[in-house]
Amino acid sequence: MIPVKDSAPCYHTPWMTWGIIAVCVAIFLFIQILPEDQQHWIMYQYGMVPIRYAHPDIAIQFGLHPDHYFSVLSGIFIHDGWLHILINVCFLWIFADNVEDRMGHIPFLIFYLLCGLFSMALQWYFMPNFTMPVLGASGAIAGVLAAYFFLYPLARVVLWIPLFFLPIFVNVPAIAFLGAWVIFQLYKASTSVVFNIAADVAWWAHLGGFIAGCVLHPFFLRSESSGGSDDSDSGEQE
């Protein structure tokens, strides 16, 4: 199920959300025009490779030099495929504008980055010997989804069910869609650990971002006096 739009109104232009989308897309397109070996190098050098921090000596043998944890941040903005970037942009476009609306531009950016950093940390904690780079905004977006879950539980989310690419749409409450989403993440993450199943999706990063979003979002909300509509920067977004 792929979200198409939501019903929650947005009263401020989501400049920071648009900026994050622009940066992610620009980096992705830049990487796509590079030769394949250079793409591979960038993803390993600037993506978060857990073994680099768990076993630095082994990481050096793989050609991964110490980066002083910079890749924990840079990996949030790198994506490794068209489907990966499209899905993340879709989730940002639909859900992040409303969360930014309730937080303000700079607080939202700090919240977003903290969720992304915690998501990377949790992925490393549960899979410290993982040799593949952990890439993408999914963990940070999971934090945004957690905030949306609490701020707009009764908003309606239109979902597309891609069954043979037919135009099948359903309208569900946000609390139902996001609740099902986090249960699925927990199932996949726990299964990968219990049964030692290799995964190409950083499930623990998704859960880490969601947990961070649940805990942190109340501290980043606008005060009641500064919330609401601003006539100089208003316009409903969905």
pLDDT bracket for residue 130 (50, 70, 90) = confident
Q: Any idea what the CATH number is for the domain that residue 136 is in?
A: 1.20.1540.10
In-domain check, residue 231: no
Give the mean model confidence (pLDDT) for residues 141-150.
96
Q: Are 12 and 234 in contact (CB under 8 A)?
A: yes
Q: What is the pLDDT of residue 189?
A: 74
Phi, psi (deg, nearest 5) at residue 90 = -60, -50
In-domain check, residue 211: yes
Torsion angle in degrees (nearest 10) through CA of 80, 83, 86, 89: -60
Report d(CA 1, CA 169) in Å as an integer. 9
Lowest mean pLDDT among 86-95, 122-131, 157-166: 157-166
Q: What is the pLDDT of residue 230?
A: 43
Work out the end-to-end distance of the chain between its first and last CA atoms, rounded to an integer number of angstroms.
18
Q: How many CA atoms lie within 13 A of 72 on its CB side?
A: 20
Most confident stretch, 64-68, 89-93, 167-171, 195-199 = 89-93
Across the beta sheet with 2-6, the strand order is 2-6, 156-161, 168-173
Residue-wise pLDDT tens digits, 162-214: 777 777 888 899 999 999 988 888 877 777 655 555 556 788 899 999 999 99
Q: Quote the longest CA-to-CA distance of the chain.
A: 58
In-domain check, residue 61: yes
> Is residue 231 predicted with pLDDT exceeding 60?
no
In-domain check, residue 128: yes
Q: What is the pLDDT of residue 200?
A: 60
Q: Please classify residue 16 by burial: count the beta carbons closer than 10 Å to its beta carbon, then call 0-12 exposed, 13-18 middle and 19+ buried.
A: buried
Q: What is the pLDDT of residue 232?
A: 37
In-domain check, residue 19: yes
Look at the chain and report how many structural domains it folds into: 1
Domain containing 204: what range?
2-224
Report d(CA 57, CA 37) in Å as an integer. 23
Q: Cα–Cα distances in Å, from 213 out to 24, 94, 198, 236?
A: 20, 17, 26, 24
Report which of 216, 237, 225, 230 is spatially closest to residue 107, judged by C-alpha positions. Answer: 216
In-domain check, residue 238: no
Q: What is the pLDDT of residue 19?
A: 98
Q: Are 120 and 188 in contact (CB under 8 A)?
A: no
Report d(CA 25, CA 30) in Å as an integer. 8
> Is residue 29 predicted with pLDDT exceeding 80?
yes
